[in-house]
Amino acid sequence: MPKPAMKVLYSREFIAEQVERLGKEISRDYHGREILLAGVLKGSFLFFADLVRAISSPVVVDFVRLASYGSETRSSGIVEMRKDLEIPLQGRDVIIVEDIIDSGNTLEYLYHHLLQRKPRSLKICTLIDKRALREVPIEADYVGITMDEGFIIGYGLDHDERYRNLPDIHLLQEG
Ligand code: IMP
Ligand code: MG
């Protein structure tokens, strides 16, 4: 497969600053209460690892694995849960940790699914909020970086499972 053209869009330093800020905001808002951070695999794994270390409140961690069908760069809205959380949510303060919100379909599904388990509170933290192609009106409570459109890779984000290990976020130049 030929290597697609890409250029750095968000540097590792810029990402680290946003993650630090999010950690401070979250720590401030929860006043030392224990937070259950629910990471959405696989894309959030690096963001998640950095975010937990930027939060000073006590945390417990758990993971959910979702897959949405669609083309290579566009999700279809049909979401499947491949691995559920293991910790019961009832009575807990829960934050969903996602890599990127695009159409919003993935989070819309997960948010309402988890709400049925009666957490004390349920919020959303996303590293990237891609706003141009939103299909459902879902908003994150904590946003690292807002972008308009374009397909990005690196820092956990993949294209066809590749490039998750790139330390910076790159814009994939298609065509
Ligand atoms: P949504 O359901 O359309 O909001 O898509 C969310 C999921 O699609 C994310 O969790 C990512 O896995 C994937 N995704 C959306 N946009 C991008 C991108 O620019 N790069 C890599 N993955 C993306
Ligand atoms: Mg993905």
Q: Is this model's pTM higher than 0.75 or not?
A: yes
Cβ–ligand 1 distance for 102 under 6 Å, the answer yes
25-54 pLDDT, tens digit each: 999 999 999 999 999 999 999 999 999 999
Whether 84 is covered by a domain: the verdict is: yes
Which CATH number characterizes residue 56's domain? 3.40.50.2020
Q: How is residue 41 written in tokens?
A: 């695999």
Count of the separate structural domains present in the chain:
1
Rounded to the nearest angstrom, the distance between the alpha carbon of 134 and the centre of ligand 1 is 11
Residue with tokens 């409570």: 141
Question: Rounded distance, CA 170 to CA 155, Å?
Answer: 9
Cβ–ligand 1 distance for 126 under 6 Å, the answer no
120-152 pLDDT, tens digit each: 999 999 999 999 889 999 999 999 999 999 999
How does DSSP classify residue 164? T
Give the ligand with the smallest distance to the CA of 130. 1
Q: Which residues are catalytic?
A: 102
Cβ–ligand 1 distance for 152 under 6 Å, the answer yes
